[in-house]
A = this chain, B = another copy of it.
Amino acid sequence: MREVVVGGAQMGPIQKSDTREAVVERMIALMDRAHEAGCDLVVYPELTLTTFFPRWYMEDQREVDSWFEREMPNEATAPLFKRARDYGMAMSLGYAELTPDGHHFNTQILTDKTGAIVGKYRKVHLPGHDEFDPERSFQHLEKRYFEPGDLGFPVWRALGGIMGMCVCNDRRWPETYRVMGLQGVELVMLGYNTPSVNSQKGDEGPEKRLFHNRLVVQAGAYQNSTWVVAVAKAGVEDGHPLIGGSLIVNPDGEVVAEAKTEDDELIVHPCDLDACNFGKETIFDFARHRRIEHYGPITGQTGIVRPKE
């Protein structure tokens, strides 16, 4: 038994006008609840500190940069890091990262129980587009404001196990989980901001979006025999609705905890990392069953190559 009590700290909406300080107060309130629930680890969503700004088209780079963090922790988040250290609680959170040399990433970090950052992941699969798209019912400009992550899908030994991270759209791509699975990952932390409506398909609403969220997270967990903790920023931000549905999934692909609201809400589950062993040693024993000689196109080509007519 290697138990990690995990808290998924779903955040309700954050308006454009909300300050980082106000958001951090809400994050600390959730951390207090996680402490009461005995959590070893609390996981916050993608871009936790601000509204989901890629929905807004901006041409002024100074305005864009105002949504980014130049260091972490910084003045606004210092109280959060202090509280985590006081509680001896590990933490994962997402934010927009602006590096000293001017690169922009959609980043998720992991701290250990002393508040030290021990892992950093930068979102690889950026959805959306990079120029204003008049065809969409709203914009999704992640490809404009971020560069694709340059760190791959690393894992880290922490909390007695092997930890991985990814961000939002990454969870729809089986490659994400598989690269971590091939490093023995036992718990994947991920945050998301997912609009409740498909901007290119009006009849795809929240029910189907929540279904897809569950489907890809459950499949990723099962097919790699790992825990997955998926945490939303939810609710209506400046008129734009985001799905909730934060969930914790066990290595059998089963949902063991799920958020009920679109507000600040904590979901908790004691995750036994040893529960990953059975799947990794039997049906998904990669060494015995995978046949890489037939997987060539997965790394050999990016897009579709159809057979000749």
A residues bordering B, Cβ < 8 Å?
A: 124-127, 148-149, 152-153, 155-157, 162, 169, 172-175, 178-179, 181-184, 200-201, 208, 211-212, 215-216, 218-219, 222-223, 252-254, 278, 280, 282-292, 294-307, 309
Contact = CB atoms under 8 A, between A and B. Distances in A.
A301 B291 contact: no
Contacts of A297: 178-179, 182-183
A298 B223 CA distance: 14
B283 A172 contact: yes
A283 B168 CA distance: 13
B304 A215 contact: no
A27 B169 CA distance: 43
Given A174-B174, A182-B305, A305-B183, A253 B290 contact: no
Given A182-B297, A291-B124, A303 B286 contact: yes
Contacts of A172: 223, 283-284
Closest A-B pairs by Cβ, 3 of them: A287-B303, A174-B174, A219-B219
Contacts of A125: 289-291
B299 A292 contact: yes
Contacts of A223: 172-174, 216, 219
Given A157-B309, A297-B183, A309-B157, A290 B278 contact: no
Contacts of A283: 127, 169, 172
Contact of A298 (B157, B178, B302): B178
Nearest to A177: B174
A304 B174 contact: no
B155 A307 contact: yes
A298 B301 contact: no
22 contacts: A124-B294, A125-B291, A127-B283, A127-B289, A148-B291, A172-B283, A174-B219, A175-B178, A179-B295, A179-B297, A182-B297, A183-B297, A183-B305, A184-B304, A208-B252, A215-B218, A216-B219, A219-B219, A280-B304, A287-B303, A292-B298, A295-B299
B304 A287 contact: yes
Contacts of A211: 253-254
A137 to B, nearest CB: 13
A219 B282 CA distance: 21
B291 A303 contact: no
Contacts of A300: 292, 299
Given A280-B304, A292-B302, 7 more contacts: A125-B290, A149-B294, A155-B307, A175-B298, A211-B253, A215-B218, A286-B303
A306 B286 CA distance: 13
A126 B285 CA distance: 12
